[in-house]
Amino acid sequence: MPIGGIILIALAIIVIIILITNINVVPQAHSYVLERLGAYHSTWTTGLHFKIPFVDKISKKVSLKEQVIDFPPQPVITKDNVTMQIDTVVYFQITDPKLYAYGVEHPVSAIENLSATTLRNIIGDLELDHTLTSRDVINTKIRITLDEATDAWGIKVNRVELKNIVPPSEIQESMEKQMKAERERRAQILTAEGEKRSAILIAEGEKESAILRADAQKETKILEAQGEAQAIMLVQQSLADSIKLLNDANPGENVIKIKSLEAFAKAADGKATKIIIPSNIQSLAGLATSLKELVTDDSNLTK
């Protein structure tokens, strides 16, 4: 084979290799910034692309995925002159590859410095206690500031988180003592409330017990009174019945006088020291005595 043919074949192989090497496939969630003769030409998105050899150049390959940067702790000073260490975590995403490539040199470093200065400005307006309890507020303020500043760089700041807030050791010891005192105070309050509740329950139990005893005594007295009333009613009913029977029998005058005499005899058996006897009963009593003596004499004669 002549030398000219070999050269042509070699040139053809070189051209094919050059063409193949200038074929590029952009993967998913990526973009390539293309320059032509040193100037920005276009942005390649996902798919197959071809660049002109020795004319086009891929200046930057950009990932469109959300990225996370954990910045080292930054010293900050609060409004009440307490120095602490705070490290932040920034979640961002590239939205414009062109601005990201030409907007700022070293974008990540720029975000770090901007977040540090923004954090110092925000913490400088807060006291220590407010700083420890206002993470959400601080995160929101930093995110808004970074998002506005990074728009010109083609970056979208989605979220900012304060990872750690480390106050000085003496402040930590003081906070631990304060927390311990607070826990002890809460424990004492709970104990006092428990004792108070127990005393209230005991008093309520005693009150209910006294009420029940009073009700029981009341019921007992009511029952006793009802029993006595019923007994009186029965006695009176019996007396009324006996009087009714006596009236129905239509007794004679002598029977009535004898019954009266019996009643006075029962009265004489009591504690009365003086008894006044009507005259009609006195004659009846004399008659009864005479009859008794007559019966006694008849019995003696018989003997």
Rounded to two decimals, the pTM is: 0.56
In this structure, which amino acid lies at residue 6?
I
Order of strands, sheet of 30-36, starting from the edge strand that comes earlier in the sequence: 39-44, 30-36, 56-63
pLDDT at 270: 52
SS3 assignment, position 192: helix
Above 90 in pLDDT, residue 30?
A: yes
Q: Which of 2-11, 16-25, 51-60 has the least mean pLDDT?
A: 2-11
**Contact at 8 Å (CB) between 31 and 64?**
yes
Q: Is the dihedral of CA 131, 135, 141, 147 positive or negative?
A: positive
CA–CA distance, 210 with 184 (Å, rounded to integer)? 39
pLDDT at 82: 86
Mean pLDDT value across residues 135-144? 91
Helix count (H) and strand count (E) of the chain? 8, 9
Give 143's pLDDT tier (boundaries 50, 70, 90): very high
Above 50 in pLDDT, residue 5?
A: yes
- φ/ψ of 28, rounded to 5, equals -65, 145
Mean pLDDT value across residues 9-28? 87
pLDDT at 277: 53
Distances (CA, A) of 7 to 3, 21, 54, 292: 6, 21, 22, 187
Q: Which of 101-110, 158-167, 222-231, 245-254 has the least mean pLDDT?
A: 245-254
Q: Which of 22-36, 70-84, 196-210, 232-246 has the least mean pLDDT?
A: 232-246
